[in-house]
Each structure stands twice: as structure tokens, then as C-alpha cells.
Chain A
Amino acid sequence: MVKQQADVVIIGAGIVGTAIARELSRYSVSVIVCDQGADVASGTTKANSGILHSGIDAAPGTLKAKLNVRGFALYQKMHAELGLDIKFTGSLIAATCREEIAALEELAMRGRRNGVAGDIRILSRAELAAKEPGLSPAIPAALWVEAAGIVCPYGAAMAFARNAIRNGAAFLPDCKVQKVVSEAGRVVGLETTRGFIKCRYVVNAAGLWADDVSRSCGDDSFVIRPRKGEYILFDKSVGNLVNTVVFPTPGRVTKGILVAPTTHGNYFVGPNAQDTLDKGDLATTREGLEEIVSGARKLIPSLPLAGAITQFAGLRAVADGGDFIIRPSDKVFGLFHAAGIQSPGLTAAPAIAEMMVELLAEAGLPLTPKQCFDPVEPRPKRFRELSYQERDELIRANPLYGRIICRCEQVTEGEIVDAIREQCGARTLDGVKRRTRAGMGRCQGGFCSPRVAAILARELNMPLAAICKDGAGSALFIGKYSGNEVHEHV
């Protein structure tokens, strides 16, 4: 039976919503996180650059600047605590011409004003060639920022969610909020596709839909405009494309098209920035892909296009005004916005969570720290990361770790079963993919997707034809013979 009452309901199980849930789970309050998607991290969090930004280029005094720097420091702590996939690679911001070197100097000063820790300095051509041999020889100089890195964004959100649930929070998937209900100017609950949820505090972390949530109770104080970014992901086999996150000198609108490694050993280029009116417009375009290729080639000329394994797009949730919107609603008491969280939102998320908890406390939510709060989240077992000796022991304990299902990423049946059975576990092919990496390799699920679908069907006791790629309506296969068809899957 679903719990339909909580002290706080967080709308949106992206990086921001899950970070807030985890932060709140330190206290003796009941928390529900709901999401319209089938899984945690199924919106903007699943398709972004996965960069831990330094905070060097945010305008001083903005929430973006403050929360970015604080968030970066918090990830350094949570890295071990939550077993996150993070690499502190540092970043390079490249001048594409001599004129841009002045801009880099200005950035360095701004970074110091923003409180960015670690080494910040302009590297000469010779230093660059040593640090990043693939960098275009046309780049005269670049700014080295030590305090930067990469993180698996959906992995982080899932770890936040798992730890929040371990500490008492509840997750409601497939739960779209239709209306924030208030009485006498105070939040009393939410009307959702899974029924009414009674609550006195609502955190609006609904990403692209944050303005719709807000408007549902008469608060039209901001508008979210989707801004699309496209990416190309490269196979691990392309060799050592870059060692650090390589940015161009930032433009007016975005940080530009970058080239970066991922925490899993792949590389990507992107994103571009294309305003769109459609919050579901996740389509890549030929023009967009050409744009990011030509942008990335200015940094790394020898882009191994033949090593591309997938292309995808994500949508930034851009608020008018440009800065994050983290504040109580001025229309309804009990509603709090964490909206307009575009870049560097991933980095800032843990700091946004701290700020949100303070706001809730100020508004009268009684926050008593829980004695039993457990901040540690064991990292899921990953066959490919273990020594042969460790693998052998693991298989002896559970033979399912001895059967490889995804050959490209060496994911075992044991890991897939774990991903399905864990708290807020995977229920879809993409859910398994994001938790285990099965299907994320060079064959893109050509080999393992029927096998993973069969494991999902067995573990969830569902017909194979009801197994979806991602959300509702994305069933993979159609039953051919009587007995294996599914007529309606909701």
C-alpha cells in the first residue's frame, strides 16, 4: 500500500529532488519523492554533461556561484560516502585565439573571487602539449582549473535516492502531479495520477515542468524554457582522447561545446544550445550533430567519428533571469521552488539540498536530527571492477555473478538481478542500463537487450511483452503467439 501522506513531498526525482530527499532524511520528518517518470533520474539528469564544475565562470554573488563552489566541496565528501562514480580530472578552458587569453585571465580572477579552491592558472603551449596532447595546436593558451571533475549524473541521483530510502524516504514513480492543492493560502496536498497525497510542505524540483507545477496553484512567478543540448558519445576503444574536461572560452549563453571523458572510460562531445518550445523534444538533428562535431574539432581536431556509439539530447531547464530559483513561493505558504536548475545544477545539487532544508526549517518544519541516520551507501557490486580472485569468491557465493549478460561492459546476471531487486530498483530496460551499464557499450544492447528483458520479466513476474524500454508505452516486443501477448500495459 502506497503511503499517501508525508511531512514533505518532493516533486521530481532528478539530481536536485533526490539530493534534497537525502538531506531531509537526516531528520525526523516523513518524505515522499514522486516523479512522473518510471524511474529516478529519467529527465534532465539522465542526459547532461556530467561535469563537476569549478564555479569559475558564474557571476559573483549569484546562487549559481555560491552553490556551485559549495556543491563541489560536498561531492568530495560524498564520493566515498555514497560510492559515487567521480573522477577529479581538473579542466582546461581553451582560448581559441590570442584575443581570448584576456578573457581567461578575467575568468581566473572571477574564480578566485567565487572561492574556487585549488590551482587556477594559465598554461603555456608547451605545458598544454604535455597535459593534453590531442589539443589543437592552434590553441595558444588555456586556463587550468584543478577543482573540476566528472561524475555519473544518474548514478549520483540513484545513490542519493537509495540512501534517502535507506533512511526512511519513499519513492513514487509514474506519479505526475496535476495540482498543488492549497487551503487558505497554505499547501494541504497534491493531486497526482496516483491519487491525493496529503502534505504541508512541497518542494518543487520538477525540472522542465517546475513552472507548470507552480502555476497549478496560481504562482506564475517564473517560466521555464527548455534549451536543448545534443551529444555524441564515443567508445572506450578510441584511445586517450582527452585527460581532462576541455572547454572553449565560455560564450554569453553557455559554457560551449566541450570534449570530456566520462567516469566509465568513454568520451563525449557536446552540447550545443538550441531553444525549443517542446518539453519532450529530445530529438537529435543532423544539423545539431554537425554543429557539435565542428565545435569540438576546434579543441580536439582528430575526433574519432567512426568510434561514435550513440547520440542523444537533453533539455536544460532555463528560468527567466538566468539564476537558480531557490525560494519559497510568494503565493502559497508551504511550497518551495528549486527551479531553473541548469548548469551548474548537477554540481550545485547537494548545496541546493542544504539550502532547501534551511528554507524549510525557517518556514517552521521541525527538523530533529535522527540518531539512526546512516550516511553510507554501499557501492553496488561491479564485476568488471574486481580482481579475478574477488570475482571467483563472488561467484561462489552467488553463481549468477558468473554469467555475463552484457558482453561489451561485462555485466553479469547477478548485477542485473541486484539492480532490479534493490530499493527503487529498475523496472525497465533503461533502468537496468543506467544502474548496471548493460547495453551502454559499443553494441548498444544489440546482444543483451533480449536477455535483460527476459531477466526483468522473470524478476518482476511480468510477461515479456510488458517489459518497456523506458516509460509507459515503450514496450519492446509484441507477443506473437497466444499466451505471450499483452493487450494493454499501463
Chain B
Amino acid sequence: MFEAEYDVVIVGGGPAGMAAAVGAAQNGAERIALIERDDELGGILQQCIHNGFGLHRFGEELTGPQYAGRFIRQVAEYPNIEVFLDTTVLEVTPEKQVYTVNPQRGIGRFQAKAVVLAMGCRERSRGAIAIPGHRPAGVFTAGTAQRMVNREGYLPGKRVVILGSGDIGLIMARRLTLEGAEVAAVLEIMPYSNGLTRNIVQCLEDFDIPLYLSHTVTAVKGAARVTEVTCAAVDEELKPIPGTEFAIACDCLLLSVGLIPENELSRSLGIEFDRRTGGPVVDQTRQTSAAGFFAAGNVLHVHDLVDWVSAESETAGRSAARYARGLRAAAGRLVRVEAGSGVRVVVPQRIDCAAAGEYIELYCRVASPERNLTLALTAGGRTLFAQRLPLAKPSEMATLKVPKDCLGENPPEAITLVVKHADRGEEI
């Protein structure tokens, strides 16, 4: 068995893990292990060959592999970051032992002082949303199809229906059209799209691909390969409306119906989870409820843009380095941050007053599309901080830069983020 000791061990070499490694290296961690199961760093970015990455981070539009490449080069600049490729993490123990497997080294045990969880997320499958019907070949998640088209050079089908208007589904609608497949329709169960506006325009409207809002797939047909899907309109409870069914002939159904933070390894740590995000509960340093365990990127909460993943993960890497070096102060007063009315998720879910700088950044997503709204941080009926926004959609993260001072001399136990209508002032 291969054994080694590290200051910081990072699980996952996608955008989160790479930025965490750089963040840790820049903040004095002496030995950093970056563990990636694939045979190259970059994670899912390597199959995202479309552009649009890095506008915020680098001020230019990059493709996924280009964005990954910038971080791969940064990682390579630090000799104290050791990259372990083709290496899968099997288990992380509460004692910060990370068990790995690799064909050449066999089983490895990495003893860490601090661990960064950066495993990313997975796609929700057909079974998770229980689409009835046959189980033929030709039903894929959009990300699996993306890998086959962009990395392997195969199509998942020739006439495709896409369920879900998440960004991967929208991107795949355009990709498949450009590759010569016909995208018959995109269906979205919600009355609004779950993708970025720019993707609706550039991936569907520019190619005349119909988007059916408030529709879903009610059955898959085909014995060996998909031959048809049955579609139907849904009511306000998202239940199919009898009589509205129609069939679309196709040989492929792609699913873009949500992403789930991949926390299987974190479950054995006994840390606290947020049911809304599907990820661990963290403070603003991205430390979980177990000291020395940090989480960042899509394993923590599903992000809209990789730029925010990088920023968050640098924070986690920096915090992990400080913890490993014994520089982190004992926890101060912990303020719970709760998602209130109109808010679907908010991260971090805790503020450690001892670790807070001048500002605390809160990422949040609203529960439904809103115009002219105010995001207000309240405690006991008082508004501590408010920020006006012209528009907010569930598909796009909003960021609040909250001055620490607004928590006051004696911070409350809990603060709640709510959506208010800017012109009326009331909660929605």
C-alpha cells in the first residue's frame, strides 16, 4: 500500500479542485495532493467545447478546455502541488485519511491535515424522475451524450428530443444540430427555462428548435431503441394533463433534468448537510461542520458559471492551507444563514464571526423568476442589509456582498435571506 502525508488533500481535479490547489499553494501549504480519477485534469470542462467560459474571471470568452488549460498551467507552476491522475478516491475517514486506488500504485492512503472536497456533481437520471415506459437504448443524460459527441465522436441519435432546459440540454441541442442530428423539441416541465438566457437565444432560438414550457415526457416507447416519446402539458402541480398528450417520433431522448452534488464520499464524515443544496453546510471559509474539511464547487451547490466555482474554490484552498498550518482561529460566534421566502438556496449557511473579513459574500438562487426585487437579510423582523436587483431567475446565481458590520456588535443566532418586491417592500 502506498502511503504519504500531505498538508492538503484535494478530492477531484476539476475546476474546483484545481482552483483549490492553487489557493492552497498560494497560502503556504507545503505539500498538496490533487487527486483526479480521469487521465487528465479539468473535469467536465474537457467535454464542454462551446465557448462562454471565463467572462468574469478572465474578461474573455474561452471554451471549456481553454478555461481548464489556464488552471492546469497554474497548477503546474507550483512544484508543491502533486497531481495524481487515473486515481479514484474510495473513502475519506473522519481522521482525514484518504484511501485511493490507481492501477500502478495500487491502494494508496493519504494522511491529510486538511481535506478539500471537490467531487463536483452528477446528472439526475431517468429513474430519479420516474419516466414511465419501455427501457430501450437511446435514453441518455445530456452530459453523457456530450461526452460521446465531443470527445469520442459519436452521436447519441439522429432525431432527438431533449427533456429539461438546463444549460447542458440547451448546449446539446445546438451541438447535435451542428453535428447533423435533428433536435425535434426541447421540453421543460416548469413554466420558465432553467437555463441561462443567452443559451436559450443562442442554442434554441437561433436554430428554430421549439421549446415547450410546462410540458414533460410521459412515456418512452421502443423495444430495442427509442422509437417515440409521448409528451403532455402539465398543470400547476406539474402533473400531466389528460388529453394533452402528443407523440414525437425520435430515436433518442436526452435528459437535462438537474444536477446532484456528488457527496457519497462526504456522507461517512458525519458532517451536516443542507437539504436544499444537496451539499454540506459550510461557513464563509467553506469549512464544513467538521474542522479541517472544506468543500467547494458543485459538490457544495450547483453553480451557474465556472467562474464562481473557481473563486469559491480558491477560498476553500486558502482556508485549508491556513487550517493545515495551524493559523485558523478557534471558531467564533456562528450565525446561521437561512433561505427564507422566495429564496431557494443560500451559501454559506453559516458565518463564523471569528473568521469573517470585512465583507461576507452570499451566493443565492431565487425560487422563481422575479423583476424589480430586493434581496434582504433579516433577523427578528429587522432588515440588516438589502440589495436591489432589476431581475433574478432561479437559473442564475445572485451574489450579495454583505458588510460584516451589519451583523452588529452582538450578532444574532440566525439571519434569513428573503426576496422582497422593491417597489412594495413586502416579502413574496
Contacts and interface: CB of A to CB of B under 8 A. Distances in A.
B92 to A, nearest CB: 14
Interface string B103-143: 11111010000000000001101111010111111101101
A312 interface: yes
Given A410-B90, A444-B126, A391 B101 contact: yes
A65 B180 CA distance: 59
A407 B224 contact: no
Contacts of A311: 127, 130, 132
Contacts of B180: 480
A367 interface: no
B172 to A, nearest CB: 14
Nearest to B39: A403
B48 to A, nearest CB: 16
Contact of B137 (A232, A280, A450, A475): A475
Interface in A311-330: 311-312
A465 B123 contact: no
Contact of A474 (B90, B122, B137, B154): B137
A374 B126 CA distance: 43
A188 interface: no
A481 B104 CA distance: 34
B144 A449 contact: yes
Contact of B88 (A237, A309, A404, A484): A404
A443 interface: yes
A357 interface: no
B225 interface: yes
B85 to A, nearest CB: 11
A96 to B, nearest CB: 25
Contacts of B385: none
Interface stretch (B145-153, B291-299, B359-367, B370-378): B145-153
Given A283-B134, A388-B107, A410-B90, A480 B125 contact: no
Interface residues of A, number: 58
Contacts, number: 148
A474 B224 contact: yes
Interface residues of B, number: 53
Contact of B123 (A283, A285, A446, A481): A446
A389 interface: yes
Nearest to B88: A404
Interface string B215-253: 000110101110000000000000010000000000000
A interface: dominant SS: mixed
A392 B122 CA distance: 28
A233 interface: yes
A399 B125 contact: no
A229 B156 CA distance: 30
B154 A392 contact: no
A283 B133 contact: yes
Nearest to A398: B103
A469 B252 CA distance: 13
Contacts of A395: 101, 103, 106-107
Contacts of A444: 125-127
A113 B154 CA distance: 61
A233 B106 contact: no
A392 B158 contact: no
Contact of A446 (B102, B109, B125): B125
Contact of A464 (B138, B152, B223): B152
B402 to A, nearest CB: 32
Nearest to A413: B103
A395 B99 CA distance: 15
A479 interface: yes
Given A388-B99, A391-B107, A464 B154 contact: yes
Contact of A478 (B90, B126, B136, B158): B158
A401 B107 CA distance: 10
Interface string A396-425: 100111111001101010000000000000
Given A233-B127, A284-B132, A468-B137, A446 B143 contact: yes
A450 B135 contact: no
Interface in A357-403: 388-389, 391-392, 395-396, 399-403
A392 B148 CA distance: 32
Nearest to B133: A283
28 contacts: A283-B132, A283-B134, A285-B133, A286-B218, A289-B132, A308-B127, A309-B125, A310-B125, A388-B1, A392-B1, A395-B107, A404-B88, A407-B37, A408-B264, A410-B90, A412-B101, A444-B126, A450-B147, A450-B152, A454-B152, A465-B154, A473-B223, A473-B225, A474-B136, A474-B225, A477-B148, A480-B179, A480-B180
Given A289-B130, A476-B138, 8 more contacts: A310-B127, A392-B1, A403-B88, A446-B140, A446-B143, A474-B137, A475-B225, A479-B154
Question: What 4 pairs between A and B have smallest CB-CB spacing?
Answer: A310-B127, A473-B224, A399-B103, A469-B137
